[in-house]
Structure 1
Amino acid sequence: MIDTELTREHASVEVLERLAASYPVPRLGTALEVADLICFAASEAAGYITGASLDINGGDLMM
C-alpha cells in the first residue's frame, strides 16, 4: 500500500497502521519510492532488463 492522500481518505489511521505492521517492511510505501523505481526503469541503468516485473509492495507478495 502506498501512502497517499487518496489512501488516507479511504482508510482510517488504525487500518493503515495495522496493514503496514503486517508487511515484512513494516510501513507504507511512499510516492517518492514509486517515482524512484519508475525513473530507474526508464533509465539507461535498466537498459538490459527485459520482461521483468518489479514489485514495489514492502514484501507483501512474499507472504
Structure 2
Amino acid sequence: MDVFDLQGRRIRHLFDGALGAGLHDVDWTGIDDDGRQVVSGVYFIHMATGMHVDTKRAILIK
C-alpha cells in the first residue's frame, strides 16, 4: 500500500505484507518516506491484493 501525490510520485510506503480476510486499518499521519510532514492536499492511496488493485483519493487537511 502506497501514497502518491498529484504528480504521481510515491511519497510514502505504508504496508507490504499479507493480512487475513476481514477489515483492517492502516494509518497515515501525513509523513512522507523521508520523515517530513506533507502539505495539505489531494493524495492517492494505491492498494494491490492478489488479483485486486484499487486506488482511492484522500484529502489531507492540516
Using the size of structure 1 for normalisation, the TM-score is 0.24
Larger Rg computed on CA atoms: 1
Using the size of structure 2 for normalisation, the TM-score is 0.24
Higher strand proportion, which one?
A: 2
Higher helix proportion, which one?
A: 1
